[in-house]
Structure 1
Amino acid sequence: MAYKAENLSVLSYANGFTLWHYRTEDVHTTVDGAGYFNVAAKMLRVGDFIMLNAGLGTSPSHGVMVVVANAAGVVDLSNIVAFGSMNSD
C-alpha cells in the first residue's frame, strides 16, 4: 500500500516540534522505509515523532518512530521503538 494523508494527524505542537499519529494497514518495516512519507515532506521536520499503529488487520505493531532525515523532499524515519508486548491472558 502507500501513504494516506488522511491517516496522519497532529497530536501536539510546541517549539518547532510536532507529535504525529499515523494509522495504516502497511507493516512498520514498509512505513520506516525512505520515501514512504515523501508526500508529507513539507510538514515533517527532523526530530518530529510519529506515534504509529501499523499492520492493522494483519500483523499489528505499535510504537514511535522519529523523522531522522528530510532533504530534497525525501523523508526517512528511524526504526520503530515498539510499545507493549504479547498479552498472554
Structure 2
Amino acid sequence: MAYSVSAPPSLVWHDIGNQGPARWTLRGSDAVTAVRLSGYVSNAVALGMKKGDLVEYTKTDATPIATQLMIVSAINANGSADLSDGLAVTATNSD
C-alpha cells in the first residue's frame, strides 16, 4: 500500500521557536524500504515537516510489530520529504 495524504503522519510534538526537531508518527503496512524512498511523504511541507524532524514509522502488519525511527533528511522542491535510515525497534517476548 502506498502513502496516502488521507492518512498522513501525526504530529506528536512540535518544536517551539525552531529550536529543535518535531516528532511525527506514521503507521502503515508498507515495508520500511518503501517508506525510505525519496519523496514517500508527498505532502510534508503542507503538514509542516522540516529537515531534522523525527518520524517514528510502525509497520502494523509485521509479526512482531516493528517500529523504525527515521529522520527527515531532506525536503524536496515539490514539498515531499526524504526519510533517512534510522533505528529499528522490534517487539520481542523474553518470557
- Say whether the fold is shared (TM-score over 0.5): yes
Report the TM-score, using the length of structure 2 for normalisation: 0.76
1:44 matched to 2:49: yes
Percent of pairs identical after alignment? 28
TM-align CA RMSD: 1.9
| Match runs of 1:3-22 below 5 Å | 3-5=3-5, 6-15=7-16, 16=18, 17-22=21-26
Q: Which has the higher strand share?
A: 1
CA positional deviation for 1:41: 3.0
1:69 matched to 2:70: no
Do the aligned partners of 2:39 and 2:76 also contact (CA within 8 Å) in 1? no
Q: Distance in 2 between matches of 1:7 and 1:23?
A: 9
Which consecutive residues of structure 2, in runs of 5 or more, have no partner in the other structure? none
Do the aligned partners of 1:7 and 1:24 also contact (CA within 8 Å) in 2? no
SS at match of 1:46: coil
CA positional deviation for 1:27: 0.9
Do the aligned partners of 2:55 and 2:71 also contact (CA within 8 Å) in 1? yes
Report the TM-score, using the length of structure 1 for normalisation: 0.81
Say how many residue pairs are matched.
Answer: 88
Which consecutive residues of structure 1, in runs of 5 or more, have no partner in the other structure? none
Output the amino acid matched with 1:11.
V
